[in-house]
Structure 1
C-alpha cells in the first residue's frame, strides 16, 4: 500500500479514500490456497495484521495501460450504489490499482497479453478479475478506505505462485489453505470477506462475473451487510 507508513493525518480522518485489494487464489492442488501477507509494524493502518495485497487508488492508476478490459458485469457492479458519481474509467482504475499494488507488494505480475512485458508498468489483462466485495473502514480509524475486493486465480493470471517476495509493505507472504486460517491474526473484515469467497466458490469453483457483491459499511458501531 503505497505511502501507508506515513504518520496519520487529518487528511485521512474524514471521507474514505478509494482503494482496491486483490484476492489471489492458487487452485493447482486439492487444497485451494490464498495469498496473504503481514503488514509492517510501522503502518498507521492495520499494523502487524495479515491482509490481501492492496492499497489506495492513486491518480496515476487512471492512465496505466491494459490489454483486456473488465468484464461488463464487473464494471456495472463497480458503478452501483455510489455515494458520489464514478465513471467506467474510474472503475477500471480501481482494478489497475489492485494489480499495481500486487506487483509492488509481492513481486507478482498479472498476465499482460504482450510478448515482451518487462516494463515496471506493462499493460495488464483485466478480463479475469471478479468483483467480490466492498467495505468501508468505520469512523474512528486514523485512515479510512472505501475498498473494492477483486478475485482471480493464478492459472488464469499466468502467475507462478513460487515467485512471491516480501516487500516493505507486506512481510511473511504465504500461500495459506483457505479452510485453515482460523488462528491467523487478521482484521475481522478480511476474515469475513474470505468467508464470503469460500462460500462463493462452494457454489461455483470458478465463479462468474455477475454474482451479487456484499457491501460492508458501519452502522452504529457494527458492520452491516448489503448486497450490490
Structure 2
C-alpha cells in the first residue's frame, strides 16, 4: 500500500474508533452503487452531493453522493448504451461465484436510477422518454468500499463517476427529493464546510488524485477497494 493509501486507511480506522453508534450483530453487506456526477465546466471540477435527513438510519444529516442499494429489478433493466467493457471487467473482479455479469450491470442501473430518484436527473436519452433506459457508457468505476462490521446498515458500494457534459441529463431539472435535500455542487478539493462521511472524503481524495493523473479519467484505471480487516480499514487496488 502507498503512503497516501495507508494514510487514508488510518483516517478511516480512526473515524471508526470514535463513532458512538450502538454496535450491531454482524450483517452481510448489500450491493449498492453511488454516482459522482462531475461538472468540469469551471477551472476546479465540482461534484453533486445532497444532505440525508435526520431520520435516516444510515449516515443521517450528512452530505453524500446520490446512490443506494441495488434492487432486484435493476439487473433486468436494459441500457440505452452499455458499460464500457473495461468497467464491466473491473466490476467482476474480487467477487464471488454468485456475482454474475447481470449484477455488475445492475449496479450501474442502480446508480442511474438513484440519481433520478434522489436528484431528478435522468440519464436516459430522449428517445426513451418515460422509461428507465440509462446510458451508462461513460461511467467510470472509481472506487469500492464495504461498510465495517457493527454498523446498523452495511453496504458493498461501487462508486461510479461520470462527467455532466457526457450525459443527456438536463441539469435544470435538478431538485431536492425525500431522500436528499440541499443538493449542492461542491469543489472536489474544497468541501470543508460540508459535513461529509469519512468515506466520502476519501473517495473525493481519490477523485482529485485521479484527475491530476489524467483529467479524462480513463476507463481502465486502477480502482481503490476499501474494506475492514482485523480492526483496520485497508486499501487495495483492483
Q: By the TM > 0.5 criterion, same fold?
A: yes
Change (3 A) 1:13 1:168: farther
Instruction: Write the distance in 1 (CA, Å) between the matches of 2:96 and 2:133.
Output: 30
Root-mean-square deviation (Å): 1.7
Instruction: Write the distance in 2 (CA, Å) between the matches of 1:40 and 1:16.
Output: 22
Deviates most, 146-155 or 24-33: 24-33
The yes-or-no answer on 1:181 pairing with 2:191 is yes
CA contact (8 A) 1:13 1:142 kept: no
2:207 match: 197
Report SS of the residue matched to 1:135: strand
Instruction: Provide the TM-score with structure 1 as the length reference.
Output: 0.90
1:150 match: 160
The yes-or-no answer on 1:88 pairing with 2:101 is yes
Deviation at 1:208, TM superposition (A): 1.0
2:220 match: 210
Determine which structure has the larger helix proportion and give its number: 2
Deviates most, 77-86 or 67-76: 77-86
Q: Map of 1:128-167 to 2, 5 A cutoff? A: 128-167=138-177
Deviation at 1:84, TM superposition (A): 4.5
State the number of aligned residues.
216
| Unpaired stretches in structure 2, ≥5 consecutive residues | 1-23
Instruction: Write the distance in 2 (CA, Å) between the matches of 1:78 and 1:173.
Output: 28
Instruction: Provide the TM-score with structure 2 as the length reference.
Output: 0.86
Q: Map of 1:100-139 to 2, 5 A cutoff? A: 100-112=113-125, 114-115=126-127, 117-119=128-130, 121-139=131-149
Deviation at 1:163, TM superposition (A): 2.4
Report SS of the residue matched to 1:192: helix
